[in-house]
Amino acid sequence: MNKPYSILLYYCYTPIADPEAFREEHHLFCLELNMLGRIIVSKEGLNGTVSGLKEDCEKYMQTLKADPRFSNIDFKVDASEEHAFTKLHVRTKAEIVHSGLLHINPNVRTGIHLTPKEFREMKDQQDVVVLDVRSDYEYSLGRFKNAVTLNIENFREFPEKVDELKEKYKDKKILTYCTGGIKCEKASAFLLEQGFENVYQLHGGIIKYGMEAGGEDFEGKCYVFDNRVAVDVNKVNPTVISTCHVCGTNSDRMVNCANPVCNLHVPICEKCGVEMEGACSAECKEHPEKRPYDGTGYYQKELNGYNPLKGFNRRKTKQVTE
């Protein structure tokens, strides 16, 4: 059965002279195509995850690729029964992924890009270290077999961990990976800057590896930043590595704690979800603000009359009448 929607994951490091002007233009274009999702515009490029009807997504991709600035953009495309988002946000920021490494331009120097096939062939070699540059809640749900993980809550903490990596792995070949490839662009460049000599990155990230290499040896599920929360990657030798926050049994069912004050994002099995009414602890179960549990552990944010044009300063256009 053909699914009517597509979910696009993409990024492109390319100079954008006037990010705010581009943001307004791009926001309007997304509205015209009924696209939903999150897009970041910066002087250094574009980063987005969006969803829409297949034909609208095709037009979106064709239009971006027709712009010389984005001609090399690599879209990861997944089919869906529905939109993966409820809102459209197009924002300008200093970086397209927050790292604090503003001086690094991946177009000048970065790790050697490996195709999923090349990554699969290299990852188990004796002189290779496979490095996960994602946050702890992401790799706790799924990661490559024998990958080195970092105790970080967000990517901007990555530079602080490089000295630890130097002590153990400076003379090794470092294969970095992340969800879609964007974090590796600056992570691998920073490793080179800090004296590592053999640095590589999985082009297209975990998502593309699953699509083109069957996801072999990726254990668990891949955390994604849309309403799906987690997606299957491994079609060759799948397994579950995450455990229920409450009882410790294997579970890859990611939920938010029903207590909105806590809102902890962790795996909780179906049995504990029912018994705890969606809460992550006895204290949260008794919290007066606890949300009703519907069995999913996913709580839709209140739209509160959401208007995608709010704060959107569309330039005045001259009305042409016949």
Q: Report the catalytic residues.
A: 178
User: Residue 207's Cα: distance from chain center in Å?
Assistant: 9
Cα radius of gyration (the chain): 21
**Residue 299 backbone class (left: φ over 0; alpha: ψ -120 to 50; beta: rest):** beta
**C-alpha closest to that of 72 among 111, 32, 45:** 45
Residues 6+ apart with CB under 8 A from 321: none
For residues 3 and 49, the answer to whether their CB atoms sit within 8 Å is no
The DSSP call for residue 305 is S
- Give the phi and the psi of residue 83 in degrees, each rounded to 5: -60, 145
Alpha-carbon torsion 172, 173, 179, 185, what sign?
positive
Q: What angle do CA 206, 211, 217 make, to 5 degrees?
A: 55
